[in-house]
Amino acid sequence: DGTIGGDLTARARAHSNIALAKYWGKRDATLNVPAVGSISITLDALHTDTTVSFDTGLADDELWLDGREQPVGKVAVVLDLVRERAGLDLRARVVSENNFPTGAGLASSASGFAALAVAATAAAGIEATPRESSVLARRGSASAARSIFGGYAELHAGSSPDGSDSFAEPLLEGEAWPLSVVVAITDPGPKTVSSTAGMQATSASSPFYRPWVESAPAGLDRMRAAILAHDLETVGELAEHSCLALHSIMLTTRPALIYWNAATVAGIHAVRALRAGGLPVYFTIDAGPQLKALCRPEDAAAVSAALAAIPGVAETRTSTLGPAARVVSK
Ligand code: 2P0
């Protein structure tokens, strides 16, 4: 197929993740270093499959997402870093498929850039530790640094000027404490304001952005401890608070970032009603209108039924915790 030096193609799969302690805002926009750390769970049911082929026949990098050609954007940043490390001067074709709606607050950039980092590294024939892959994925999208790992993962904000200490690492294996997430899809369309643009606006204009950054380390300490203690009530309470603090700085951005719709708000109340009835379930919401409910696997069917009954909820998807990003063929 026109490649030299062997077959420079590899395919990788990475799963989406949902932050329980949220990230929003950057310490360094160029290196894409987050201003705060974050803690997430990787989701088995939502994944991206990405094939990278470095090819002598290409004049430019190409990105194909769910069958359609797209602007290469930050994909080129990741490819350039891989080319630099591998001493490679070939353009690449990137073919990526999501098994869920893209760009709708379901963290397609997390699974997408994690799959890209792993596939591009393998295609170029170089070795990378999971930590190096996490730093590489972060250059595409900060949340992608977390999708390099399965189960529970923490992304460090770090403090070094070059961003080398801003990587994710595993906190706990998913098998050690299985949880489920029920995603209520209230609008499968793409969001109108990207996360990158949204957080730039928030850091520039929300009066609560500084307090958000300053309170993050204490929240991370508490979340980490609660996860290691397998304490769902505390994890859930902290996750809801982190979500609502995130949306507080979004709502007080100028112009305001209002990602919720009526069904999102109905979902919040439904989760609280289930909890008042004795079911341990907790909500979280990202930069989009979908609601994610965290619960024990044995309660997922009841949570899914309650959320699916809300007018405006188009579909629910239930997921257990997923594995790390990996090469699936080379
Ligand atoms: C998170 N989100 O921690 C937060 C909560 C959405 C809300 O990380 O600019 O796609 O590419 O680094 O990682 C979404 O932001 O943004 C995100 P960039 P990213 O999951």
ipTM: 0.96
Averaged pLDDT in 10-residue chunks for the chain of 330 residues: 66 98 97 98 97 97 96 97 98 95 73 98 97 98 98 98 97 98 91 90 98 98 98 98 98 97 98 98 96 98 98 96 97
Query: Using CA atoms, how far apart are residues 158 and 5, in angstroms rounded to an integer?
Result: 38
Helix (H) or strand (E) holding 77, with range, is: helix 75-86
> Cα(24) to centroid of ligand 1, in Å?
6
- Our CA angle for 198, 312, 316, nearest 5°, is 85
Q: pLDDT at position 2, please?
A: 41
Sketch out the chain's domains with CATH numbers: 9-174 (3.30.230.10), 180-320 (3.30.70.890)
Q: pLDDT at position 29, please?
A: 96
Query: Using CA atoms, how far apart are residues 91 and 75, in angstroms rounded to an integer?
Result: 12
Which is nearest to 109 in space by CA: 77, 61, 80? Answer: 77
Which is nearest to 116 in space by CA: 187, 51, 70, 61? Answer: 51
Please tell me if the CB atom of residue 78 comes closer than 6 angstroms to any atom of ligand 1. no
- Our CA angle for 261, 262, 264, nearest 5°, is 65
- Other beta carbons within 10 angstroms of residue 208's beta carbon come to 16
Find all residues with CB under 8 Å of 35, minimum gap 6, and list them.
23, 24, 25, 26, 27, 157, 203, 213, 216
> Cα(109) to centroid of ligand 1, in Å?
8
Cis peptide leading into 255, omega within 30 of 0?
Answer: yes
Please tell me if the CB atom of residue 61 comes closer than 6 angstroms to any atom of ligand 1. no
Q: pLDDT at position 144, please?
A: 98
Query: Using CA atoms, how far apart are residues 154 and 41, in angstroms rounded to an integer?
Result: 9
Q: At what angle do helices 232-251 and 209-228 cross, to 10 degrees?
A: 170
Please tell me if the CB atom of residue 17 comes closer than 6 angstroms to any atom of ligand 1. no
Do residues 102 and 190 touch, judged by C-beta distance below 8 A?
yes
Q: pLDDT at position 191, please?
A: 77
Do residues 20 and 239 touch, judged by C-beta distance below 8 A?
yes
Q: Whose CA is nearest to atom 17 of ligand 1?
A: 143
